[in-house]
């Protein structure tokens, strides 16, 4: 019940003394503490190799910190019993899209939607809405291997948002997007903030704002 009480607070992601070291080198992340609250847009800025992606992966419970800890909606990411709830609470866009090249755009969304426990009818509604917003609904039955980098990024963003998670973690979300699609994504992010959903992201410099 303690976790439920925490989840109702304004703090959605809390990292304390977060450290990640790799063998044979200095820490990629060294004693980082941060708090992301409901409705906040939190951006990580820094040069290449500063540990931005590593930080996002720890906040997403995709890798474990060497020291320190992270709580997502009051659940410690080190708790194996809470890991599924954490992943269902997050919409994650990794640095690499991670789509199945031999599947169509729609089948990719259907596959990942089912992993989140969504019904096929809900997947259909959400996929139509998101792919239409990114102007690729007419390509839904085309295989990912035929898509440009920007189109793959659109599908990956749609996948992160498909299950309507309360928190989004996006790594270079507008990388490869054309200006119109980047604006669509920024508008969507602002809408999520108005709904009280926090977002953590690593901005990209590859697309003009």
CATH of the domain at 50: 3.40.50.300
Alpha-carbon span 63 to 199, nearest angstrom: 19
Question: Is there a single domain that holds both residue 195 and residue 141?
Answer: yes
Question: What's the pLDDT score for residue 156?
Answer: 94
Question: What's the pLDDT score for residue 155?
Answer: 95
Alpha-carbon span 206 to 172, nearest angstrom: 9
Q: Is 51 domain-assigned?
A: yes
Question: What's the pLDDT score for residue 63?
Answer: 93
Question: What's the pLDDT score for residue 5?
Answer: 38
Question: What's the pLDDT score for residue 41?
Answer: 85
Question: Is there a single domain that holds both residue 146 and residue 192?
Answer: yes
Question: Is there a single domain that holds both residue 132 and residue 180?
Answer: yes
Alpha-carbon span 42 to 199, nearest angstrom: 6
Question: What's the pLDDT score for residue 206?
Answer: 34
Number of domains in the chain: 2
Question: Is there a single domain that holds both residue 76 and residue 132?
Answer: no
| Closest residue by Cα to residue 123 from 133, 131, 113 | 113
The parent domain of residue 175 ranges over 105-202
Averaged in consecutive runs of 10 residues, what is the pLDDT profile of the chain (209 residues)? Answer: 46 94 90 90 87 93 94 93 92 89 98 96 97 94 95 93 90 84 81 69 42
Strands 41-43 and 199-202: parallel
């Amino acid at each position: 019940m303690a976790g439920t009480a925490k989840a109702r607070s304004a703090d959605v992601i809390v990292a304390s003394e977060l450290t990640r070291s790799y063998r044979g080198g200095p820490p990629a992340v060294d004693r980082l503490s941060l708090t992301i609250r409901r409705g906040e847009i939190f951006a990580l800025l820094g040069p290449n190799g500063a540990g931005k992606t590593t930080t996002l992966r720890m906040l997403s419970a995709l890798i474990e910190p060497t020291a320190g800890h992270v709580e997502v909606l009051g659940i410690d990411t080190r708790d194996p019993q809470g890991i599924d709830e954490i992943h269902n609470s997050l919409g994650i866009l990794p640095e690499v899209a991670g789509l199945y090249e031999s599947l169509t755009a729609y089948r990719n969304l259907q596959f990942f939607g089912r992993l989140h426990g969504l019904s096929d009818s809900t997947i259909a509604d959400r996929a139509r809405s998101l792919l239409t917003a990114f102007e690729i609904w007419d390509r839904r039955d085309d295989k990912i291997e035929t898509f440009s980098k920007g189109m793959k990024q659109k599908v990956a963003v749609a996948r992160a948002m498909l299950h309507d998670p309360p928190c989004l973690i996006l790594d270079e979300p507008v990388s490869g997007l054309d200006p119109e699609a980047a604006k669509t994504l920024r508008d969507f992010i602002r809408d999520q903030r108005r709904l009280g959903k926090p977002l953590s992201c690593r901005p990209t410099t590859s697309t003009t704002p």
